[in-house]
Amino acid sequence: MSWPRRLFLLNAARLAAASSALLHAAPSNAAGYPFSLGVASGSPLPDGVILWTRVAPDPLDATKSPSLALTLRWEVAHDGAFRNIAAKGSAVATPELAHSVRVDVRGLQPARWYWYRFMLGDAVSPVGRTRTAPAPDSMPDSLKLAVASCQHWEFGSYAAHRYIEQANPDLISLLRCILLPKP
């Protein structure tokens, strides 16, 4: 069996396994699980962070997304069980922005971990973890950074992400890549 065929079969098996896992992990509802693309955070400041999600019941078929604005609720907590809420609010996901939401959360404490989630109806997003930046007048004893760059998912899994998570960095920088067509 040649390498391209092996890679194709390996990637097909991975895709089938991932699809099966997603189908079993997502809550069942008629419209599909709205947070299939997960959540993200970034742009940390000493008193805040930016949170992001996108309502996409089927990210490969935009026609399955509703053509009306949706109001999402969000929460930021001091603990992963959400017993001690630090901030909460709502945000509107509009079709014009592909139902993506960007929330600028302020009023948080510097240099501390927070947990966050989004809700739409009874559906709850995966829980994300984020951290605010140190206070401007402070000097941390150490600062652990991780940098991630371009990815081409068709060519393999990214074990480096597992190691980044295990390293528990204070900051992860994601570099954008622009893929240009071959001349």
Predicted confidence (pLDDT) per residue in 134-165, tens digit: 899 988 888 888 887 766 656 666 667 778 88
- For residues 49 and 76, give the distance between their C-alpha atoms in angstroms, rounded to a whole number: 10
- pTM strictly above 0.75: no
pLDDT for position 129: 93
Strand partners, 49: 105
Using a 10 angstrom Cβ sphere, with 0-12 exposed, 13-18 middle and 19 or more buried, the burial of residue 2 is exposed
pLDDT for position 141: 85
The more confident residue out of 4 and 152 is 152
95 has pLDDT over 60 = yes
Nearest to 74 by CA among 133, 126, 134, 22: 126
- For residues 69 and 100, give the distance between their C-alpha atoms in angstroms, rounded to a whole number: 10
Confidence band, pLDDT 50/70/90 cuts, at residue 50:
very high
